[in-house]
Amino acid sequence: MGLLSGEFADESRHLMTGIGSYFYLVWAIWLRICLNEQQDVYMLNWPNIWTLPEVVLISDVKSTSNAYQYRRVNGSKSEERKSV
């Protein structure tokens, strides 16, 4: 009777609320980094739509193994920023 009584709907609603909150918090952290012009210190790692995004230190990315290919938000692998 659990699935028929609406319990599953309530649980999935809370799950989606939690995931949405996580996306909002990561976006707010990344926005703060961009507004403070610290993109050369941090980067947003979001490999595809099916994974959760994370903000990581670039120095931590350099020290990890080559198992993960981190990309910048604009898709380039280079760490040099182009001046405008």
pLDDT digits (tens, 9 = 90+) for 6-57: 555 666 677 778 888 999 999 999 999 999 999 899 999 988 888 999 999 9
Long-range contacts of 76-80 (CB under 8 A, 24+ apart): 79/40
Task: Give backbone dihedrals phi and psi of 17, rounded to 5 degrees, phi first.
Answer: -65, -40
Decide if pLDDT at 84 tops 80.
Answer: no
Residue with the larger pLDDT of the pair 77 and 34: 34
pLDDT on residue 12: 66
pLDDT band at residue 67 under the 50/70/90 scheme: very low
Decide if pLDDT at 1 tops 90.
Answer: no
Q: Would you say the pTM of this structure is higher than 0.75? A: no
